[in-house]
A = this chain, B = another copy of it.
Amino acid sequence: MKKIVVFGSSGKSSIYLVEYLIKCIKTHGISLHFCDRDTSKIKAKYQASSIEFTDLDIHKNKQRGAIIEGADIVVSMLPAFLHPILAEDCLNFNTHFITASYVSKQMKEWQDQVAEKGLVFMNEIGVDPGLDHMSALRVIDWVKEQGGKITRFETFTGGLLSPESDNNPLHYKFTWNPKYVVIAGSSGAVKFLQQGKEKYIPYHKLFRRTELIEIDNYGMFEAYANRDSLTYIDLYGLPDVQTMYRGTFRRPGFGKLWDVFVQLGVTDDHFVIEHSDQLTFREFINSFLVYHPTDSVELKLMHYLKIDHDSEIMDKLRWLGIFENTPIPLKKATPAGILQYILEQKLKLEENDKDMIVMWHKFMYELNGKSYDRESALVVLGQDQQYTAMAKTVGLPLAIFVKHLIEGRHDNLKGVLIPSDKQVYLPILEELETMGIHFKEKYIT
């Protein structure tokens, strides 16, 4: 009887994974162990003889080690920075390890040890990264098998609002960890390839270098570039590609609004405002503007950033409440932390809000002397605040891979991996299609 341990099983993105694995108890005779800081809710909902529940502080080495020692597969839905702790235990106790996070530098260094032990450390097998790799490679590998040559690849993903819940001027609410939304892009210059030339965008220009994409039935989206697209040229095996561009989707207008925060400097997460709890929203914004004895914060901001007083941006900023004299209740907070708090007042999901995951690829390739321009689009809508599109698209690829591992389909796999192998991604994509995660393809002529 195979034993699967899930860390972070009570998290917002875990429900589809958890329920899929529970179904596998009957079909595959497995046993499950759900661990999190507080598992009481999922215990009340799913209690069964073949499921163990443990409330756990991940930093308690003995308890954590004992749990991992008894497992065949460890799945982590915890934040990425906690993965090294779990991965190290898995290495010591000969356990497979599966996450939706990016392969970290440290993870890469374990490659040889993991392979030597015949273990599988599968990463980047959620939605983004995950589904993006798998759905892109299905087309890319097919083109290559046919003897074709990919010349251009662009891919964008966004965690957004289902059209019925899209009811604010930003067309955005926090459907994902707000902290990561606020600091998105701030870790360094963005890099990509366009028409054979490497291009770089500094953070303070990122939200002004957007492009617009239309997706059938869902309207227009705005895309800004992600960190380093250049590494994907090798990763996807595309030596002839002339354009390689990965990015994030928002609704049109978001970039121009967000750029105001970037320009002010209020997305900075690297320093602390000593007396943040003595400031109001308005004073916080003012601390990034020049001093003037009488000019208003609004006027100073408009003049500084060259914004018209009757522009949509000013309407949006006013609506967000950044000029209000509302006290900030956070002590010694960073600008990014304060901005997050201000935005959360208006951009929190309401009870009946539904989310939406949008993914889009463009492939241009040459095959048998002809040029092709092919697009592939996925839209997944959330059902409610529990069964979200995010949880579905992150959790199901992960869960299906776990099942395939149990079934012994991947006994030849070993090492630190991402789902770039056809034997891995193809059966996952096929099963996802039966569950409503379906890419629509079309050719542009």
Contacts and interface: CB of A to CB of B under 8 A. Distances in A.
Interface of A: 188-189, 191, 194-195, 197-205, 209, 230, 263-265, 268, 270-271, 273-275, 283, 286-291, 293, 335
Nearest to A288: B200
A273 B228 CA distance: 12
8 A-B pairs closest in CB distance: A202-B265, A204-B204, A194-B291, A195-B291, A200-B288, A189-B268, A188-B270, A198-B287
Contacts of A271: 188-189, 191, 200
29 contacts: A188-B268, A188-B270, A189-B268, A189-B270, A189-B271, A191-B271, A195-B291, A197-B286, A197-B287, A197-B291, A198-B273, A198-B274, A198-B275, A198-B287, A199-B287, A199-B288, A199-B289, A199-B290, A200-B268, A200-B271, A200-B288, A200-B335, A202-B204, A202-B263, A202-B264, A202-B265, A202-B268, A202-B288, A204-B204
Contacts of A194: 291
* Chain A binding surface SS class: loop
A306 B129 CA distance: 37
A291 B200 CA distance: 11
A268 B274 CA distance: 28
Contacts of A199: 287-291
Contacts of A289: 199
A230 B271 CA distance: 13
B290 A209 contact: yes
Contacts of A203: 204
A335 B265 CA distance: 22
A290 B264 CA distance: 24
Given A188-B270, A201-B288, A202-B265, 5 more contacts: A198-B275, A199-B287, A200-B288, A201-B265, A202-B204
Nearest to A305: B205
A268 to B, nearest CB: 5
B204 A287 contact: no
B200 A287 contact: yes
Given A198-B273, A202-B204, A189 B265 contact: yes
A205 B289 CA distance: 10
A263 B200 contact: no
Contacts of A293: 195
Contact of A204 (B263, B270, B275): B263
A300 to B, nearest CB: 12
A180 to B, nearest CB: 20
Contacts of A268: 188-189, 200, 202
A200 B270 contact: no
A269 to B, nearest CB: 11
A273 B265 CA distance: 26
Contacts of A335: 189, 200
A183 to B, nearest CB: 13
Contacts of A191: 271
A274 B263 CA distance: 29
A321 to B, nearest CB: 20
Contacts of A198: 273-275, 287
A265 B185 CA distance: 14
B273 A205 contact: no
Given A188-B270, A270-B188, A265 B205 contact: yes
Nearest to A243: B291
A151 to B, nearest CB: 14
Contacts of A275: 198
Nearest to A228: B271
